[in-house]
Amino acid sequence: MKYLGAVFVFFFGMVLHWWWSTYFTVWGMAPHLLLILTAAISASSGPIAGQCYGFMWGLFLDVIGVHLFGSNALVLTLVGYLVGSIRRQMDVSSPLSQTMLVAAVTLGYLFSLAGLGLGFEHQAYFAGWGNAFFLPLLNALAAPFVFPVVQSVLGDL
């Protein structure tokens, strides 16, 4: 039954991210739900589950995106690995720690995409100052709502 929940979370995450970023933006910005979900799954289930979800969601983002193909898959896989690897050394049970984790991961995600673009396309992929300042805030505000849902649906895989 928990594997059925894992498949549900995977497809529901893709649909929800697409819907939210298409129809429910705030000043043209929306929380990066797949990044938050990858961090939440990695924190609750470990690095292997986080890497699998992150890679597949990253491929989804690369297919619907227009910049360097494979960059989201690589960066979300790294997020899944890093958060899953340090999950025993940090406490993500409180909403404050979840918001801090997601804000830090979001900044790392944005800088990693910029670095990959700079390395492979000779121009940094930069989504604008609004995204750089407000995306970590939007993701941090959404994190306390996403983490309990992931924990209740998936538990520990």
Percent of the chain with pLDDT over 70: 98
Q: What was the pLDDT predicted at 151?
A: 85
What is this structure's pTM?
0.91
Domain that holds residue 128: 2-154
CA separation for the pair 26, 66 (Å, rounded) = 22
Closest CA to 39 of 124, 135, 139, 121: 139
* pLDDT at residue 157 greater than cutoff 60: no
Give the Å distances, CA to CA, from 143 to 10, 62, 75, 99, 122.
17, 23, 19, 6, 33
What span, in angstroms and rounded, lies between the C-alpha atoms of 77 and 98?
A: 19
Whether 99 shows a pLDDT value over 80: the answer reads: yes
With a CB cutoff of 8 Å and minimum separation 6, the contacts of 46 are 84, 87, 157
Q: Is the pLDDT of residue 128 over 60?
A: yes
User: What's the mean pLDDT when you consider all of the chain?
Assistant: 89
pLDDT at 1: 56
31-41 pLDDT, tens per residue? 999 999 999 99
pLDDT at 131: 79
Number of domains within the chain: 1
The reported pLDDT for the residue numbered 127 is 73
Looking up residue 143, the CATH number of its domain turns out to be 1.10.1760.20
> What is the mean predicted confidence (pLDDT) over 49-72?
91
Q: What is the pLDDT of residues 17-35, one digit of tens each?
A: 999 988 988 888 889 999 9
Per-residue pLDDT, 125? 76
